[in-house]
Amino acid sequence: MRTGELMDLAWRPVEDGGEGTRAVLGLAGPPGAGKSTLARALVDGLRRRHGPDAAAYVPLDGFHLSGAQLERLGLSSRKGSPPTFDVHGYAALLRRLASRPAHDVYVPDFDRALDEPVAARHVVAPGVRLVVTEGNYLACDLPGWREAREWIDEVWYVDADAAERRRRLLERQLTGGRTEEEARAWVEGNDMPNAGVVEAARDSAWVKRVFHWSGHD
């Protein structure tokens, strides 16, 4: 699907809800499917169409556990798997955003250069009409993720060919400083197994749309 068409579909719950409505759109899908790129494209495009308060970006990746916590839990080698996120913190943020507080809400992100979460990189202003959030496990029927989904109006599943996802993931690891051997081992031993967990939720009843994103308008 093209970006312009997806923008129309994303904005529809806001229009249907009338003045003052805030909707939350969740983009699920396996690692490397293009979720974060699409989320940013939707937010940027909707701001151009409807003004600066039209949409805001809220990435799940800001709720990665820190390296110190992963080491404490013995999960350093499984970074990116479901238990390596603060899903309850993420659900609490979505609940807060859905309540439309009369003040800015600051949102964390993940810094790939630091390989750590960072606080307050994004902000959701009081007048924002659509929150676009994305993360691998938003469609999964797992503890914590179910609770987070209560605050999401629509869940879309962004898919991509497995070979293309591998290519993107390998490039990501190489850019992050791993050797080619290390990068391939990480993708096959961690990212692709995580993708299997995500793919099991692809056809869940609460997933409204499943599509490949073309990356074009």
Looking at this protein, which amino acid is placed at residue 52? P
Query: Can you give the pLDDT at residue 18?
Result: 86
Give the pTM.
0.96
Give the sign of the dihedral formed by CA 149, CA 152, CA 157, CA 158.
negative
Closest CA to 75 of 118, 83, 192: 83
CA 115 to chain centre: 17
Helix-strand-coil split of the chain, %, nearest 5? 45, 20, 35
* Planar angle of CA 131, 126, 135, nearest 5 degrees: 20
- Let me know if 85 is exposed, middle or buried by CB neighbors in 10 A (0-12, 13-18, 19+): buried
Q: Which CATH code is given to the segment(s) 3-212?
A: 3.40.50.300
CA–CA gap between residue 51 and residue 76 (Å, rounded): 41
Note the Cα 160 to chain centre separation in Å. Answer: 15
Residue pLDDT tens, the chain, 217 long: 899 999 999 999 999 998 888 999 999 999 999 999 999 999 999 999 999 999 999 999 999 999 999 999 999 999 999 999 999 999 999 999 999 999 999 999 999 999 999 999 999 999 999 999 999 999 999 999 999 999 999 999 999 999 999 999 999 999 999 999 999 999 999 999 999 999 999 999 999 999 998 776 6
